[in-house]
Amino acid sequence: MDPRPPLPWTGVRDASKEGPKCIQFDLITSTIVGEEDCLYLNVATTSLQGSRPVMVWIHGGAFIFGDGSSAMYSPDYLMKTDIVFVSIQYRLGVLGFLQLDHEVMPGNAGLKDQVAALKWVKENISQFGGDSNNITIFGESAGSASVHYHLVSPLSKGLFHKAIMQSGVILNPWVITPPTVETAHRLAALLGKETTDVHEIVEHLRTIPALQLIQAELQVPTPEDKIRFLFPFRPSIDDKSEQPFLPKNAKELAVKGIDVPVIIGYNSHEGLFFLMGLVDETLETVDKNFEVVVTENLIAENPSKISEVASEIRNFYFKDKSVTRETLDDYVQCYGDLYFVNGVLKTVEYQQKKPKTPTYLYKFTRENPQSMSKLLFKVPLKGAAHADELPYLFHTKLYADLFKFEPNSIEQKLSDAMVKMWTDFAKTGNPTPQTDNDLIPVKWSPVTRTSKNYLEIGDELSARANPDEEVSQLFNRISDIVKSQ
């Protein structure tokens, strides 16, 4: 069901407390938390007067978990720069992304929740001292992929003016691989309804309490889905909808490029995320049958090439070595490139053909010994993991003790620099309008037709060109293999 406009109220509404998160399985506590009534947004402003740039944050979490609360994403650092900050929430998992390729359940309810939130911001943010003509949307992981979706969706046109994508685009396999109607059939069967009749499935699921739906959702992925990190409910083509959010294949829309200024980037060791909960059996499966690593999007045009593509990938990352705990570094790079880096670099290549629209590329390489992945998930290797940039932009109240930056430390200076670049971009469309100071000593140049200029965000800031070129070449070779007869 599409979101409905909020009901008006009389008198004064108490909005001093944040609304509940959307119902979901909590990775940290292994419990189900949140509520169905969860479509709330948070606004932070220093004054109701004036007209300041607006930054709208879309949280990540693979479209199945996460929230927009200040416990995780407190905007304390951003607010020092005179902007208005908004964080939004959207339905997750089965409640946000169940689809039956039919008008009664076309899919993408969670993304339409985001559109409803962006419309609310556009219409109301001036009441909070925000400029409705200067809105930047930004997000990380699934939130970043959501940003990319809004950049290409007809429903989101005109609702924002700039965008920042952190480690997530619609070309990533965990986003672009379409969920199947069979997934919904499996869910219905788990909940006692063995049928392929769309109306019967929907009627039955509406009788099931949300808690049970989430519990059943956890049982839907196949063993192969788990190895490929494909969660069962995610964005899909919704052309059966009266108002489609995604009327065409995501790749078709991505190839056309983006028409607003963007910052886009990734972290050096995104694949560390995939070590979370890794068991030896998974490594053995990958070692014996490396084809399970090959994501569907790579071979969609010619699935018969799967073994050749698997050999190309294995040779590039592992050469003649086995996939074991001794080769975890290679495993990390392989999965990080497959699931994040390749999609980001491909998106940038499409943007290189549109040089009039500035695209600023970054690679985050700073390794913080107190990163989320290392502390919470006990990931053993070094490197900047997925989401490791977030504590530099947000005061993470939930883990405040973990992310205390000492004054004048590298961490504090890097945080100050990132906050300035992100908010300067929101204000002007240029992340480094001034570079004559100690904080921002280099100019961050946009990509051009011939060069992927990028900013390396590490122990210091450095301007470079063409990151991970050998990775781009690998995926170009894979593309040639798939196209060959």
Catalogue the active-site residues.
Answer: 141, 270, 386
Task: Give yes or no for a contact between 347 and 171, defined as CB atoms under 8 angstroms apart.
Answer: yes
DSSP 3-state assignment of 97?
helix
d(CA 450, CA 453): 9
Q: What's the chain's Rg over C-alpha atoms?
A: 22
Structure tokens at 436: 């004559």
d(CA 86, CA 122): 11
- DSSP per position, 405-465: PPTTSHHHHHHHHHHHHHHHHHHHS-S-S---SSSS-S--PPP-SS--EEEEESSSEEEEE
Determine how β-strand 461-465 pairs with β-strand 453-457.
Answer: antiparallel
| Side-chain half-sphere exposure of 408, counting CA atoms within 13 A | 0
B/e letters for 396-427, b = 16+ CB within 10 Å, e = fewer, are: beeeeeebebeeeeebebbbbbbbbbbbbbbb
- With a CB cutoff of 8 Å and minimum separation 6, the contacts of 55 are 78, 83, 84, 85, 86, 135, 136, 137, 138, 422, 423, 426
Locus of tokens 């479509």? 39
Strand partners of residue 403: none
Cα–Cα distances in angstroms (integers) from residue 34 to residues 21, 91, 125, in the given order: 5, 11, 27
Burial class (CB within 10 angstroms; exposed 0-12, middle 13-18, buried 19+) of 147: buried
Locus of tokens 């925000």? 130
Rounded (10°) CA dihedral 116, 121, 123, 125: 160
Burial class (CB within 10 angstroms; exposed 0-12, middle 13-18, buried 19+) of 205: buried
Closest among 70, 138, 95, 164 to 455, alpha carbons compared: 164
